[in-house]
Structures are given as C-alpha cells and as structure tokens.
Amino acid sequence: MFDTLFNQHGITLSIVLGFVSLAIALWLIRSVIAASAGNEQMKSIAAAIQAGASAYLHRQVVAISWIAVVIFIAVGLLRNWTTASGFVLGAVCSLVAGYIGMNVAVRANVRTAQAASVGPRPAMRVAFNGGAVTGLLVVGLGLISVGLFYLIVKSLTHDDRAAIDSLIGLALGSSLISVFARLGGGIYTKAADVGADLVGKIEQNLHEDDPRNPATIADNVGDNVGDCAGMAADVFETYAVSLIGAILIGYLTSAGHSSAALVFPFLICGLSIIGSVLGICFVNMSKSNATNALIGGVAVSGLISALLIFPATRFLFPQALEFSGKMVSAQSLFFCVLIGIVLTFATVWITNYYTSTAHKPVRRIADASETGHATNIIAGISVGHHSTTLPVLLIAASILGCYELAGLYGIAIAVVSMLSLSGIIISLDAFGPITDNAGGIAVMSGLPEGVRKITDELDAVGNTMKAVTKGYAIASAGLAAMVLFGSYVEELKFHLPNTALHFDLTNPKIIIGLFIGGLLPYVFTAYAMDAVGSAAGAVVNEVRRQVKALPGILTGETTPDYGQCVDIVTKAALKKMIVPALLPIIFVVGVAAIPFLGKEALGGVLVGTIVTGLFVGIAMTSAGGAWDNAKKFIEEGNHGGKGSPAHQAAVTGDTVGDPYKDTAGPAVNPMIKVVNIVAILIIPKFF
C-alpha cells in the first residue's frame, strides 16, 4: 500500500507538507507580532528601520524587473514560453520569500529588544521564531512552486520531459534573483556598516549603533535587506535548484525514466519539513544557552528527518533500480541521504569552530590585534584560508561515497537531503540580523546596560550562526554544482546522441575552459568588493561632513540626518549590483558563442567556476565571521576592551571582513548555480 502511495502521490504529499510549512510560518508571524514592541521611542526607531528596508526592496524590485523582462523574452525565444513562465515563477517566489521574511524580521527586532529586558531566554525565543518564519517560508515556497509547476506542465503536455525542461526556467529565475538580492543587499548593508564603523568607532570613539552616528539607521536597515532578504533568496534558489537538479538527473539516468526516481527528491524535502518543525519546537522548549539550543534544534531536525525518510525509501524502492547501468538498492540511496545530513552537521560544526568566540581561530585574531592593524588582517586571512581544508575534504569524500553507492543520482540525493534541512538552518541565519538590530534599538532608545549585555551576547551567537549558515549554503552549492555539471553532460548526451564527448584533461579546450571558469569567481568578487569600498567611502565622507557642519550631533543636541546615508547606500547598491550579477551569463554565453571552443570548453568553465568558487566562498565567509567575532571578543573586556589599540585594530579587521562575509563571499553561491543553469539552458541553441 505504502509503495503505491509514495510512488503515485508522493509529489502531492510533499506539496501538502509545503502548505503545512507555510501555515506554521503564518502562526509564528502572529505569535511574534503579538509580543510587546516596547515604548514609543523603541517603536519610532523600529519604524524608521522598517521604512528604510521596505523602500530599498521596492526600488530593488523595480530595478531588477527591467532586466527580468529582457531575460524572460530571451528564454521564451531560446527555449519556449513554458520555460519562460517557470523563470517568472522562480523569480517571484525568490522575491516573496525574502520580502516576507525581512518584513517579519524588522518587526521581531524591536520585540527582541523588549524581551531582553525580561531575560535572555525570552529574547532568544522571539528572535529565533522571527527567523523561523523565513526558514519555513523558504522550504514551503520552494517545494510548492517546483511541485505544482511540474504537475501543471505535465498535465498539460502529458510529457515528463517537457515538464522537467520547464523547471530549468524556474531554476534560472530563482538563481538570478538570488544573485541580485545577495549583491544589492550585501552592498547596501556593508557600505553602511563599514562607513559607520570607520568614522563612529575609530575617529569619534562612539559605541556600536550610537544614535549620534548619522549612518546608524542605514546600518540597521542593511542588516535586514542583506542578511534576511538576501539570504532567503539565496537559500530558496539553492533549495529549488538542487531539487530540480535531482529530478533531472533521476529522469536522465534511471532505467525507463523511473517515476520513483522523480518522486524521491520531493519526498525527502517534504518529510524533512516535519523534522524542521519539530526542531523549531525543540529550540523553543530548550533550557540550554542560545548556542546549544540552536545547534540542538538542528540535530533534532536531522535525526527525525532521517527516521522518516528511511521507511519512505524502502517503500518507494522495493527492488533495486538501474541508474546509468548500475543497480542501486534502497539501502544505498538511504546511505546517500545520511551522507547529506552528516555533511550538514559537519559543516555547521566546522564553521562554528572557525567563527565562534569560544574557539582558537577567533581568539588568535584577537591576540594578533594587540600588535596592530596589519597583524589582525594577516591573522584573519590565514583563518579564512585554513577554514577551507576540512569542508573541501568532506565534500570530496561525500562525492566519492555517493557516487560509489548510487552514481550521479546518489550525489543529487545527498544534496537534496542536505538542503531539505533549510527550514531549521535558515532560522539560525535570520536570528543574526534580528539580534543585531535588537541591540541597536536598545542603544538608540536608551535601554539599561543589562539589556544591551543580553543583546550583545545574542548578537555574538547570531554572528556565528550567520557564518554557519553561509558555510552550509556554500558547501551545499559545491555539491549542487557537481550535480548541475552532471546534468549538463547528460543533457548534451540527450540532445547529441550521436556525438562523442571528450571531457578529459588532454583536450586543450577543457583547459581553456577551466582557466576561464576559475577566473569568474575572482572577477565577480572583485566587482562586489569594489562596490562596497566606493559606497563605504561615500558614507564616510557624509558622516564626516555632518559631524563637522553640525557640532551639536556629538553632544546630542542635534539629530543627525540619517536619510542622507540611507540614500547614498541605496543608490550605490542598485547601481553597482547589475554588472557583477550579469557576469555569469556573459561568461557562459560568450564561451558558447566562440566556434572553436564549444561544448567541451563550456564544460571546463563549469568545473573551473565550481572549484575556485567553493574555495573563495568558504574562505571569505569564514574569515569575515572570525574578524567580526574577534572584535566582539575584545569588546567583552579582553585585550583592553573597547577603545583600546587592540579594539581599533579589530574594528579595522571587522570592516575588511564585512564585505567578505556579507557581500562577495555568499554571493558566489548563487553565481555558481547561474553559470551551470544557463549552460544547460542554451544547449539546444548553441550545440
């Protein structure tokens, strides 16, 4: 009975669980909004942050829409209008996930600040539940959009292949919007943050989020448009693209295009929603400190998901199934699921080690701060480079293990199982900007020092959680990109059945492609870093101008013009996100259009981008998180505390790390996916 149920109705069951995820997200929204928002001054500051964040996202949507229209037409002409419709659906869902999640976060921040006046546990719960809304939205919208679109197209065409092809458009839409959201939000938040720190902390010796700093509102707005809206769009696209990649690989490599191979990725995602919801419940009921409660929630989610997926695997695959000539059993596929879940835990643990104030890497950067700014920077870069070792070795081992167990499909299943825990993982990420904003509101509204101490402690945990989730997103992107490269090769075989493919290192076209692909992450991150640097410079000049022109700002007699800094970073983000966001498309189409390079060189581009992108992304996000927490470790009273020479060096490291961890590094993740998806999309027209 169960094998029939899962095989025939597995996708429908998963969609239903997606709606359950959205329903619980709505319930959490109501519970967060019902909490006290504090006094009138707190509400006024929170309203300014809400208005700034909403205004920026509105302008970002308008700016992106013109580009999206052009790409919609291009996809329609290159492939078909069904695929183009998928592009629109993916783009809209990616934007919706970010927009709703951000709007909840900018309301949870002031309520977290108020809850901190009661104690750390109430504050942690409000902040986490605000973040959980984003996590559940991402998995719910991802599963519903992919599942419903697939079923609708299949019912209209009566063709699995046509339905799967249309999903490639959905993947492109979600990935492209994610790149824009990551870059735009990242440029906004880090330009404001760097500008505020350089003048406020170093030149004027002001505390974090001091209301006398003209850039402080822009800084708090940026936390939300970068880390909430940007991260939600980022993981939505990774989730959707990984699911679509597994469906495509299952169809292309399974004997007789098995329906079970198409249904299994949906079931993994659907059943893991139950695990994520129970993990969220665990965090709310836990009496441990914030770090242990959050990590415990991930462990509970992973364990319950595995327990649910095991019987589903047995029922869906009662007999071994052939994938690319290899007989694969249910047991082998379940081991691939376990590898994905274990890799998630390992990534969380490793990133926590390199970015938490409790461990040696962060404290080593703090120690280096005593001897100056340069040694702080050197130590931070070193930590970032060291942090790549274990994740890359684990990803390599996971690829090898899954391939031996179930071929390319096994790797795809590991990626899906890893991303299926996004509901709980993204809850951790959105926790960070909520607690950061809560601390800012506590300072600007003059709440007691004890409240700020609680929000600072939660903010330090939030910094680690943000770094953990970025490491998770990039590690999953490395595996997902491997699946997408496999999809590219399988698509070539499908469209060119009589053409021999030579993807070997003796082919000079492959080497050329590897070099070009390896170059892309460096050019991409260079544009992103340049954008933050120039915008931050403009913020510095504006803050200096206001402080000089209005001396009453520093004495508290004059209110700064916060709107000027908000306007500067808004314009810079919208203007400077466009070129780097379009680079992946330019590189892929450019290589494909050169006659003497062709499909082999383009395959090299995909692999080169995956390899260097993985290293660059992990190194940047880990180094940035470690720099940030080294500053916070000193601010807790170590190495001379706030205002000491070590603190000033740590502030410099933090300002360098800001665009590393919140702009350039995390944006590499969706950029890798765009490269691979565009390559798959253009195969029929170029080859």
Q: Tell me the pLDDT tens digit for each residue of 568-593.
A: 888 888 888 888 888 999 999 999 88
For residue 568 the two structure tokens come to 């500067």
As to burial, measured by CB atoms within 10 angstroms (0-12 exposed, 13-18 middle, 19+ buried), residue 93 is buried
Q: Looking up tokens 């001054």, which residue turns up?
A: 41
For residue 512 the two structure tokens come to 């050329």
Given a contact cutoff of 8 angstroms between Cβ atoms, the answer to whether 432 and 112 are in contact is no
Give DSSP secondary structure letters for 145-167: HHHHHHHHHHHHH--HHHHHHHH
For residue 420 the two structure tokens come to 């299926």
Give DSSP secondary structure letters for 346-367: HHHHHHHHHH-TTSHHHHHHHH
The pLDDT value recorded for residue 570 is: 85
The pLDDT value recorded for residue 18 is: 93
The pLDDT value recorded for residue 4 is: 53
Q: Name the DSSP letter for residue 664.
A: I
Q: Closest by alpha carbon to 666, among 190, 243, 346?
A: 190
Distance CA 355, CA 614 (A): 18
The pLDDT value recorded for residue 266 is: 93
**SS3 (DSSP) at 552:** helix
Which residues of the chain are modeled with pLDDT < 50? 1
Distance CA 256, CA 371 (A): 66
Q: Looking up tokens 């002409």, which residue turns up?
A: 77
Phi/psi at 559 (5° precision): -85, 130
Given a contact cutoff of 8 angstroms between Cβ atoms, the answer to whether 310 and 328 are in contact is no
